[in-house]
Structure 1
Amino acid sequence: MAKKKKPIDEDIIIISKSEQKRDHHELQDLAEVLANFNVNQRSTLPLDEELLAALRLADKIRGKHDAYARNLRFVAKQIATLDVEAIKFGIEKIKNRHTIAAFQSSKIEELRDNLIADASQIEPLLSEHEALERQKLRQLVRNASKEVKAEKPAKSYKELFKYLKDCVTFE
């Protein structure tokens, strides 16, 4: 005689044990990445004080294999209580900071060249970025375009780049 099956409530999501293990291993890998970061890099991430204390302990016991592994499992459990996606985003930002800086630098160079070629682009730029000063920007663009036309050393050209780099941010 077959056993009667109980009706399964459709609101409950059943996660297989192997999927739980995969998720836990992913959190452990994330904990190891965090443990390999230095204190300054960790400070930029959205981590709570208890997790930071556990990571400081991991730094101290790195040479003791079993204790270090146990501590990383604890760190993984702590990470599970936080916003994992925000932490992953912060880690990617740290890992790709050179790529991001190169991208921003090329965008600023392109913006500078466009301003020198066409000074009418100053007004839309000023409306997008309130940190820019109208008079200073116009003066730098005017001087840089004169230098480019006269083929002089690019003093204002470099100053314009530095000013834009300081005031304009790209997301």
Structure 2
Amino acid sequence: MTQEPTPYDDSAPDRPSKTQIKRDMHALLDLGKQLVELPTDRLRQLPLSESLFEAIRLAQRTTSREGLRRQVHYVGKLMRQADAEAIRTQLAIWQNGSRAETAALHRIETLRDELLQNDDALTDLLRDHPAADAQQLRTLIREGRKEAGRNAALQPGQEPQRKHYRALFQALKSLGDAPDTP
């Protein structure tokens, strides 16, 4: 025979503990702080109620330290009625998306440096991207190499030229996803 839990029995948790409630409230407060730091155009893309949106905008305009602290706590309180998981998901997408974009730009930079150093890199690139304008890339690489040579001979304090270096980067960027270089 099983024994029914009594109203004072701690073995049957029917509600979260005080500590868990505090953790949840602090998590919502931290999420509210992140929202206050976002630009307005990003805020409009989130599933926020009108009152929460206005509270965030007021916090962004508040200059007083104590006033800002109070307003952020109010935002945290309003976050209890918001869809926090949807907001967290969108913030994660934005954060990881920018990491992926940064990684793609780094791959393009590496490819550009490889093209300026190694003649065989252009052959590999043209094999992977047959629609690329080979003549334009050859010209940009040749001019980029000349530019690098002139920049190496500059006196201290003189500004290096980067016109063809940047143009080669833009040409590679326009090819789409650059292949990973070894």
Query: TM-score scaled to structure 1, two decimals?
Result: 0.60
The aligned counterpart of 2:124 is: 121
RMSD: 4.0
AA of the residue aligned to 1:39: T
Q: 1:167, CA displacement in angstroms?
A: 4.5
1:60 aligns with 2:63: no
| Aligned 1:11-90 pairs, distance under 5 A | 16-17=16-17, 18-43=19-44, 47-50=46-49, 53-60=51-58, 62=62, 63=67, 69-80=73-84, 82=86, 84-90=88-94
The aligned counterpart of 2:154 is: none
The aligned counterpart of 2:9 is: none
CA distance in 2, matches of 1:15, 1:125: 59
CA distance in 1, matches of 2:104, 2:168: 15
Q: Is the 8 A contact 1:28 1:76 kept in 2?
A: no
1:110 aligns with 2:110: yes
Q: Is the 8 A contact 2:31 2:76 kept in 1?
A: no
Q: Deviations over 1:30-51 (max 9, x none)?
A: 11220232313434xx512526
The answer for unaligned runs of 5 or more in structure 1 is 7-12, 128-132
The answer for unaligned runs of 5 or more in structure 2 is 6-12, 151-160
Structure with greater Cα Rg:
2
CA distance in 2, matches of 1:134, 1:167: 7
Deviates more, 1:105-114 or 1:65-74: 65-74
Q: Deviations over 1:57-92 (max 9, x none)?
A: 3323654865653343112430336252332443x4
Aligned residues: 148
> What is the percentage of aligned positions where both structures have the same residue?
19
Q: Is the 8 A contact 1:34 1:42 kept in 2?
A: yes
The aligned counterpart of 1:10 is: none
Query: TM-score scaled to structure 2, two decimals?
Result: 0.57
| Aligned 1:3-18 pairs, distance under 5 A | 4-5=3-4, 16-17=16-17, 18=19
